[in-house]
């Protein structure tokens, strides 16, 4: 059924259609509307056979989820930013125990300085925790990916994070096609756990493992993710066949045929990138783009196939490996091992900084002319940076950097443009 | 002759009456059918109070629930000594997730039992004092506050034993640990610190809170049994001597535990919905020195010249407990 709803609401509907049995969460912007949505459906009886548990922290939220999942219940939670970091220990634990929990991340920057707006730092901080990480491009895809996520998680016995851009998707009203319960039931069978806490067949879960077997346990976790490289496209194809639209998969190519410059990015920014590609193509530029949906497992082969004939790759990232540069770029480079082509990293959209078509067009043109630095910070205000560096070189007690910059800019922090 | 109430109690041993009792009133451990939930062969030190306490507590919980029990364990000695891969001592469904989240994981298990139609299966969470009073405190308070159907058992050996005897918020004043060394002007753990989690549990007005000790195993079983016959959040705090961390003789574990109770340093009581409803009276009050002397962690209080000032302070703590909880049957004491 077509509906014009907020992204969070669309996701809440997808969760409800997936028949979770335990939902537990702790509020943090911009995840709140999703859990409020499902919470209401549990309370008013729309979502049956499900308990919604209000907990005292994100650490508890995921811990409750761990217990519920190990005891055989289909389990869901959601968080963002500081919340994801607060649950970090449990994030690794859920994956280590092989529990098929599904968690939405409403992507948001990490402080300090505290910032509620969108970037991908939060999900990226947990990229090696053992969760599958899928990035949604649109609200429709966010909805669809959640339904796929439960199936994927349960087939592999591995937790899945569905990442969607905070505000840009979570708070945007858009048209979505909400499938029927029958359609979802046909795609997503009831949860059949691989391991379960059950007095009639007692098992010990979470035993201490020493050097004699730790490597094997970790290898099997890696192997699981490698299997997902096959399973993710299969599920996406089956989903398309049943629901009549393409969603998910490892990567999506746009105008890559004959492209000399290919832009790689994750999430909602792909919409803007594609518009700029269209504009530049219309003017004769040989440019295309690739959207990475599955960041973990990282689709090395699919990317190599998509990128190897280009002359240059621009990786546009909403995250920063401080002291190194790109995070996504690392994987992209690995996928191109042995192939000679130019690679540029562009850090953009941090803490909600708007990524405009104008800036992107300029950027891509500079890239096409190979006039880009290895690492570029899109729309960096060089004056402010130079002023602050100068100030810090002049005196010892220069105070907190963020405040000094805001004072200089004379703007309030809610201005995101 | 006038009627006179006579109170009997045995001296020397407190295994009172197993043989004199009706079979179904005997202790769980006296029963051939006990479940041995924590089986032999685990790696606990000799004389480990925690291993003893856990065996009695879990077997008692198993009996109440007709063997329909799931245990959630925090990281700590109990978890480590019972599950060195590829072996496990647990004969029941058991999960270990993290150090600080046992209460929350247990809430999740209990909720899963409800939604999957297995409400007859009950849940116990267990952890050491560190996993309970320090790092797991947030999750514990959350579980209490939501009144989740979980019995949380704290095995209190008064320090972080698994990592090599460091101070926790349950470490008593003056005790030497690896992080409260017996050096300087105030050797050992400082006075006036720490927290009383049984009292904090009571402040949540949960249905049942009790303290217990491996010195009184029948009472321990009784309290776990009571706790399992109630629904909602429950808390049992068990005093479990650790020969390694306390520097006591492995053979003295029960004796040390008993001295803690009989001196008043570890009061045994029960509370329902935030009100104390029962206490175990002290039969022969002993001075705290009887307890302290058995443990090397307090050795610096004795030496050539005993540190009388600190010994008096510790005695005052015990006396205050006795007053607060009414641990001495005044009638008996005066009669
Ligand atoms: C987050 C975290 N911090 C620290 C540790 C290290 N650690 C493991 S067990 C333990 C001490 C456990 O003490 P307690 O809970 O009192 O149990 P005991 O071993 O004394 O029975 C510590 C500090 C850990 N596993 N996880
Ligand atoms: S260190 Fe203490 S608590 Fe740990 S196993 Fe040994 S005696 Fe038991
Ligand atoms: Mg301890």
CATH topology for A2-243?
Rossmann fold (3.40.50)
Q: Report the chain A residue with the minimal C-alpha distance to residue B101.
A: A63
CB contact under 8 Å between B107 and A53, yes or no, is yes
Mean pLDDT of B137-145: 98
Contact at 8 Å (CB) between B155 and B53? yes
Mean pLDDT of B13-32: 71
Contact at 8 Å (CB) between A38 and A53? no
pLDDT tens profile A238-295: 999 999 999 999 999 999 999 999 999 999 999 999 999 999 999 999 999 999 999 9
- What count of other Cβ atoms lies within 10 Å of the Cβ of residue A382? 9
pLDDT tens profile A26-36: 999 999 999 99
Q: Is A24 on the interface with B (CB under 8 A)?
A: yes
> Residue B182: helix, strand or coil by DSSP?
coil
Question: What is the spatial distance between Cα B293 and Cα B300, in angstroms, rounded to a whole number?
Answer: 10
CA torsion sign, B138 to B141 to B143 to B145?
negative
Mean pLDDT of A147-164: 98
Question: What is the spatial distance between Cα A303 and Cα A40, in angstroms, rounded to a whole number?
Answer: 41
Q: A414 pLDDT band (50/70/90 cuts)? A: low
Model-wide pTM > 0.90: yes
Which tokens in the block code for residue A360?
């992107």
- Binding site membership of B163 for ligand 1 (Cβ less than 6 Å): yes
Q: Which residue has the higher pLDDT, A371 or B84?
A: A371
DSSP-derived secondary structure for B291-305: HHTT-GGGGGGTSSS
- What count of other Cβ atoms lies within 10 Å of the Cβ of residue A260? 14
How confident is the model at residue A155, as a pLDDT? 98
Domain boundaries, chain A: 2-243, 251-377, 382-417
Task: Identify the residue among B70, B112, B123 best suited for mutation to test binding to A, counting A beta carbons within 10 A and taking the highest.
Answer: B112
**pLDDT above 90 for B217:** yes
Sheet with strand A251-254: strands edge to edge: A251-254, A287-292, A261-265, A312-317, A342-347, A375-377
- Binding site membership of B160 for ligand 1 (Cβ less than 6 Å): yes
Contact at 8 Å (CB) between B122 and B114? no
How confident is the model at residue B259, as a pLDDT? 97
The DSSP element (H or E) to which B95 belongs, if any, is strand B94-96
Mean pLDDT of A8-30: 98
How confident is the model at residue B334, as a pLDDT? 47
Mean pLDDT of B108-124: 97
Q: CATH 3.40.50.970: does it fit domain B37-333?
A: yes
CB contact under 8 Å between A93 and B121, yes or no, is no
How confident is the model at residue B283, as a pLDDT? 87
How confident is the model at residue A412, as a pLDDT? 61
How confident is the model at residue A349, as a pLDDT? 98
- Between the CA of residue A281 and those of A275, A285, A361, B179, what are the distances in Å? 10, 5, 11, 68
How confident is the model at residue B10, as a pLDDT? 54
pLDDT tens profile B270-290: 999 999 999 999 989 999 999
CB contact under 8 Å between B68 and A199, yes or no, is yes
Contact at 8 Å (CB) between B160 and B222? no
Ligand 3 centre to CA of B172 (Å) is 12
pLDDT tens profile A290-316: 999 999 999 999 999 999 999 999 999
ipTM above 0.85, yes or no: yes
Give the residue carrying structure tokens 């929350």: B104
SS3 string of chain A?
CEEEEEHHHHHHHHHHHCCCCEEEECCCCCCHHHHHHHHHHHHCCCCCCCEEEECCCHHHHHHHHHHHHHCCCCEEEEECHHHHHHCHHHHHHHHHCCCCCEEEEEECCCCCCCCCCCCCHHHHHCCCCCCEEEECCCHHHHHHHHHHHHHHHHHHCCCEEEEEECCCCCCCEEEEECCCHHHHHHHCCCCCCCCCCCCCCCCEECCECCHHHHHHHHHHHHHHHHHHHHHHHHHHHHHHHHHCCCCCCCEEEECCCCCCEEEEECCCHHHHHHHHHHHHHHCCCCEEEEEECEEECCCHHHHHHHHCCCCEEEEEECCCECCCECCHHHHHHHHCCCCCCEEEEEECCHHHCCCCHHHHHHHHHHHHCCCCCCEEECCCCHHHHHHHHHHHHHCCCCCCHHHHHHHHHCCCCCCCC
CB contact under 8 Å between B146 and A54, yes or no, is yes
Of B80, B94, B108, the CB nearest to A67: B108
User: What are the two backbone dihedrals, phi and then psi, of residue B89, each rounded to the nearest 5 degrees?
Assistant: -90, -5
Contact at 8 Å (CB) between A52 and A38? yes
Distance from CA of A124 to the nearest CA of B (A): 23
User: What are the two backbone dihedrals, phi and then psi, of residue A141, each rounded to the nearest 5 degrees?
Assistant: -70, -35
**Average pLDDT in chain A:** 96
**pLDDT above 70 for A373:** yes
How confident is the model at residue B165, as a pLDDT? 98
- Are A2-243 and A251-377 equal in CATH topology? yes
Query: ω before A50 within 30° of 0 (cis)?
Result: no
Ligand 2 centre to CA of B169 (Å) is 18
Contact at 8 Å (CB) between B181 and B189? no
Query: ω before A233 within 30° of 0 (cis)?
Result: no
**pLDDT above 90 for B308:** yes
How confident is the model at residue B13, as a pLDDT? 53
pLDDT tens profile B38-71: 999 999 999 999 999 999 999 999 999 999 999 9
- Binding site membership of B242 for ligand 2 (Cβ less than 6 Å): yes
**pLDDT above 90 for B200:** yes
CATH topology for A251-377?
Rossmann fold (3.40.50)
Ligand 2 centre to CA of B43 (Å) is 9
Which tokens in the block code for residue B116?
């999957």
User: What are the two backbone dihedrals, phi and then psi, of residue A34, each rounded to the nearest 5 degrees?
Assistant: -65, -50
Q: Which residues contact B308 (CB under 8 A, 6 or more apart)?
A: none
For the ranges A187-191, B30-34, B69-73, B264-268, the lowest mean pLDDT is seen at: B30-34
Give the residue carrying structure tokens 């991908």: A120
How confident is the model at residue B11, as a pLDDT? 53
Contact at 8 Å (CB) between A314 and A290? no
Contact at 8 Å (CB) between B235 and B42? no
How confident is the model at residue B18, as a pLDDT? 64
How confident is the model at residue A406, as a pLDDT? 86
pLDDT tens profile A76-113: 999 999 999 999 999 999 999 999 999 999 999 999 99
- What count of other Cβ atoms lies within 10 Å of the Cβ of residue B122? 23
Q: B335 pLDDT band (50/70/90 cuts)? A: very low
How confident is the model at residue A408, as a pLDDT? 84
Residues of B in contact with A66 (CB under 8 A): 97, 101, 105, 108
- Binding site membership of B76 for ligand 1 (Cβ less than 6 Å): yes
For the ranges A34-43, A206-215, A397-406, B22-31, the lowest mean pLDDT is seen at: B22-31
How confident is the model at residue A417, as a pLDDT? 45
DSSP-derived secondary structure for B42-56: --PPTT-HHHHHHHH
């Amino acid at each position: 059924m077509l509906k014009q709803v907020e992204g969070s609401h669309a996701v809440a509907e997808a969760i409800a259609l997936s028949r979770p049995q335990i939902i537990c969460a702790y509020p943090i912007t911009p995840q709140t509307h999703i859990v409020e949505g499902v919470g209401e459906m549990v309370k008013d009886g729309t979502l049956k056979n499900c308990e919604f548990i209000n907990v005292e922290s994100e650490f508890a939220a995921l811990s409750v989820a761990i217990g519920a999942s190990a005891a055989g219940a289909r389990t869901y939670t959601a968080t963002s930013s500081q919340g994801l970091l607060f649950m970090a220990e449990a994030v690794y634990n859920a994956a280590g125990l092989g529990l098929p929990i599904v968690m939405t991340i409403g992507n948001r920057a990490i402080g300090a300085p505290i910032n509620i707006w969108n970037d991908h730092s939060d999900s990226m901080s947990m990229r090696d925790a053992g969760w599958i990480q899928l990035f949604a491009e649109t609200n429709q895809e966010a909805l669809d990916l959640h339904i796929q996520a439960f199936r994927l998680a349960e087939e592999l016995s591995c937790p899945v994070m569905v990442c969607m851009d905070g505000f840009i998707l979570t708070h945007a009203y858009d048209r979505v096609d909400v499938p029927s319960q029958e359609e979802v039931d046909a795609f997503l069978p009831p949860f059949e756990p691989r391991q379960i806490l059950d007095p009639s067949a007692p098992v010990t879960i979470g035993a201490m493992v020493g050097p004699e077997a730790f490597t094997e346990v970790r290898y099997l976790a890696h192997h699981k993710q490698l299997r997902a490289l096959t399973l993710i496209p299969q599920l996406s194809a089956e989903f398309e066949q049943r629901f009549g639209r393409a969603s998910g998969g490892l990567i999506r190519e746009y105008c890559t045929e004959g492209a000399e410059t290919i832009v790689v990015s994750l999430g909602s920014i792909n919409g803007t990138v594609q518009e700029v590609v269209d504009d530049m193509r219309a003017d004769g530029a040989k440019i295309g783009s690739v959207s990475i949906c599955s960041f973990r497992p990282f689709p090395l082969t699919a990317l190599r196939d998509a990128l190897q004939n280009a002359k240059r790759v621009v990786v546009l990232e909403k995250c920063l490996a401080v002291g190194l540069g790109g995070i996504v770029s690392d994987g992209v480079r690995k996928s191109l091992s042995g192939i000679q082509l130019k690679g540029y990293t562009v850090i953009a959209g941090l803490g909600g900084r708007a990524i405009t078509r104008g800036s992107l067009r300029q950027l891509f043109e500079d890239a096409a002319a190979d006039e880009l630095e290895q690492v570029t910070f899109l729309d960096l205000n060089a004056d402010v940076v130079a002023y602050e560096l100068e100030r810090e070189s002049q005196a010892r007690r220069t105070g907190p950097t963020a405040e000094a910059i805001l004072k200089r800019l004379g703007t309030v922090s809610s201005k995101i443009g | 002759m006038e009627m006179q109430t006579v109170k009997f109690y045995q001296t020397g041993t407190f295994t009172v009456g197993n043989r004199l009792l009706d079979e179904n009133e005997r202790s769980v451990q006296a029963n051939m059918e006990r479940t041995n939930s924590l089986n032999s062969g685990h790696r606990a030190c000799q004389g480990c109070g925690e291993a003893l306490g856990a065996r009695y507590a879990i077997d008692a919980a198993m009996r109440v629930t007709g063997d329909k029990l799931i245990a959630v364990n925090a990281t700590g000695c109990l978890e480590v000594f019972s599950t060195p891969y590829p072996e496990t001592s647990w004969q029941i469904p058991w999960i270990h997730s993290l150090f600080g989240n046992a209460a929350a994981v247990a809430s999740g298990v209990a909720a899963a039992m409800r939604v999957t139609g297995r409400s007859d299966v009950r849940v116990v969470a267990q952890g050491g004092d560190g996993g309970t009073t320090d790092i797991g405190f947030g999750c514990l308070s959350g579980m209490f506050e939501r009144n989740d159907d979980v019995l949380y058992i704290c095995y209190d050996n008064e320090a972080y034993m698994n990592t090599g005897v460091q101070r926790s918020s349950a470490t008593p004043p003056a005790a030497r640990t690896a992080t409260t060394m017996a050096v300087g002007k105030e050797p050992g753990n400082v006075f006036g610190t720490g927290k009383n989690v049984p009292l904090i549990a009571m402040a949540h007005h949960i249905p049942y809170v009790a303290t217990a000790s491996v010195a009184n195993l029948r009472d321990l079983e009784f309290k776990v049994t009571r706790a399992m016959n109630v629904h909602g959040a429950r808390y049992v705090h068990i005093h479990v001597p650790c020969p390694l961390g306390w520097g006591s003789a492995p053979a003295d574990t029960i004796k040390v535990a008993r001295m803690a109770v009989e001196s008043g340093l570890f009061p045994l009581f029960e509370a329902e919905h935030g009100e104390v409803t029962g206490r175990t009276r002290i039969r022969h009050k002993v001075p705290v020195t009887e307890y302290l002397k058995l443990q090397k962690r307090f050795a610096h209080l004795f030496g050539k010249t005993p540190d009388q000032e600190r010994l008096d302070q510790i005695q005052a703590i015990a006396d205050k407990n006795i007053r607060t909880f009414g641990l001495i049957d005044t009638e008996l004491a005066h009669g």
